[in-house]
C-alpha cells in the first residue's frame, strides 16, 4: 500500500534476464532500514526487494508485470519514481495506491502554463471509463488529480514542485506511463457488473 507521494528518484543500474527480469536500482534511501522482502513502488509498480547493498536494491519482475506496465521501456540510467510502503500511522498525503498497475497511458501533449505543465494523456479504451474529472489516479506512481476528461483523453497538471522531485520534470510527448485507476472506481464498477 502506498500514497502516491514520491520520496526518491532512483536510477536503473542493471537489467538482467534471469528467467524473470532482475533490475538493480540505485537510491538515496537508507537501505539498512529496508528488509529483504519489503515492497517498494518503482514508477508505480509494487516490486519486492530481493537483494540490497548500501545504496542499491534489486527486484525480480515477472513477464506478466513487464507485459502490463512500461517496464519494457526502462533502460540503464533511467530515472525511476520511488516510494516505500506505507506504515500504519504515516501521513496519507496523496490517495490510497496499491502499486497494481492497470495499464499504460501515453503522453500526447504538453503545454507550459506559468511554472506548471499541463499534460494530456491517452488512456487504454478499457480504462477510460474509470477516469473522472477531479478524481484521483496514479501515473508512474505519482498521486494526481484529473483536470478534465474527453473520451479516452484526460488532462493533469504538474506544479513546479512535482516536476522537481519526480521524473515528471523530464517527461516528453510519446512517453508511456504506468496508470493505476482509483481503487474505489474499480470496486464500484465491479459491483455494477455483478448486478
pLDDT in tens, 11-23: 999 999 988 999 9
* Angstrom distance (rounded) from CA 47 to CA 44: 9
Tell if the pTM clears 0.85, that is, is over it: yes
Rounded-to-integer distance, Cα 65 and Cα 128, Å: 21
The β-bridge partners of 24 are: 14, 58
pLDDT of 195: 63
Which of 28-37, 42-51, 65-74, 89-98 shows the lowest mean pLDDT across its residues? 89-98
Tell me if 100 sits within 8 A of 75, measured CB to CB. no
Reading the block at residue 22, the C-alpha cell is 532482475
Can you read off the three cell numbers belonging to residue 178?
Answer: 504506468
CA-based nearest residue to 47, from 81, 14, 73: 81
End-to-end CA distance of the chain: 29
DSSP classification of residue 170? G
User: Rounded to an integer, what distance in angstroms lies between the CA atom of residue 193 and that of residue 188?
Assistant: 9
Render pLDDT for 145-156 as a digit per residue (tens, 0 to 9): 999 999 999 999
186: helix, coil or strand? helix
- Region 67-81 average pLDDT: 97
User: Is 61:20 a contact under the CB 8 Å cutoff?
Assistant: yes
37-64: average pLDDT: 97
Q: What is the pLDDT of residue 61?
A: 97
Mean pLDDT, residues 176-180: 98
Position 190 pLDDT exceeds 70: no
Assess whether pLDDT exceeds 90 at residue 181: yes
Strand order in the sheet with 176-181: 142-145, 136-139, 176-181, 103-113, 116-122, 153-158, 148-150
Quick check: 140 pLDDT over 80?
Answer: yes
Position 28 pLDDT exceeds 70: yes
Amino acid at each position: 500500500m502506498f500514497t502516491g507521494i514520491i520520496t526518491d528518484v532512483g536510477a536503473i543500474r542493471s537489467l538482467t534476464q534471469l528467467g524473470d527480469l532482475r533490475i538493480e536500482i540505485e537510491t538515496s534511501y537508507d537501505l539498512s532500514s529496508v528488509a529483504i522482502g519489503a515492497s517498494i513502488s518503482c514508477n508505480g509498480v509494487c516490486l519486492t526487494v530481493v537483494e540490497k547493498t548500501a545504496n542499491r536494491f534489486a527486484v525480480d519482475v515477472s513477464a506478466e508485470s513487464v507485459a502490463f506496465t512500461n517496464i519494457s521501456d526502462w533502460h540503464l540510467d533511467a530515472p525511476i519514481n520511488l516510494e516505500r510502503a506505507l506504515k500504519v500511522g504515516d501521513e496519507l498525503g496523496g490517495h490510497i495506491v496499491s502499486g497494481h498497475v492497470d495499464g499504460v497511458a501515453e503522453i500526447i501533449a504538453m503545454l507550459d502554463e506559468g511554472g506548471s505543465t499541463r499534460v494530456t494523456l491517452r488512456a487504454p479504451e478499457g480504462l477510460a471509463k474509470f477516469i473522472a474529472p477531479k478524481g484521483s489516479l496514479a501515473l508512474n506512481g505519482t498521486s494526481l488529480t484529473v483536470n478534465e476528461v474527453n473520451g479516452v483523453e484526460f488532462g493533469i497538471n504538474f506544479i513546479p514542485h512535482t516536476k522537481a522531485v519526480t521524473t515528471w520534470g523530464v517527461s516528453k510527448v510519446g512517453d508511456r506511463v504506468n496508470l493505476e485507476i482509483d481503487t474505489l472506481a474499480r470496486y464500484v464498477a465491479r459491483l455494477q457488473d455483478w448486478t
